[in-house]
Amino acid sequence: MDKEHESYKGRNVAVRYFVKVVIERKFLPPITKEQDVWVQILGQEPMENEAIKMEVGIEDCLHIEFEYERRVFHLQDTIIGKIHFMLVRIKIKHMELAVIRRETSGEGVAGANNQSSSSRGAPVGSAVDVNNICTETQTLVKYEIMDGAPVKGEIIPVKLCLRGIPCDLTPTYKSVNNRFSVRYFLNLVLVDAEDRRYFKQQEIILWRKELG
pLDDT band for position 112 (50/70/90)? Answer: low
Q: CA 163, CA 157: separation in Å to the nearest integer?
A: 19
Give me the domain span that covers residue 80: 52-207
189 domain residue, yes or no: yes
The pLDDT tens digits for 60-78 are: 888 999 899 999 999 999 9
92-106 and 18-25 beta bridge pairing? unpaired
pLDDT for residue 156 is more than 80: yes
Q: What is the pLDDT of residue 19?
A: 96
Sequence-ordered list of residues with C-beta below 8 angstroms from that of 71, at least 6 positions apart, any chain = 49, 50, 51, 52, 204, 205
The residues pairing with 159 across neighbouring beta strands, listed in sequence order, are 80
pLDDT in tens, 125-154: 444 445 678 999 999 999 999 998 888 889
CATH number reported for the structural domain that contains residue 71 in this entry: 2.60.40.640
Task: Report the pLDDT averaged over residues 6-24.
Answer: 94
Number of folded domains that form the chain? 1
16 found inside a domain: no
**Alpha carbon distance 146, 92 (integer Å):** 10
What pLDDT shows up at residue 149?
85
Domain annotation covers residue 14: no
Residue 123 has pLDDT above 60, yes or no: no
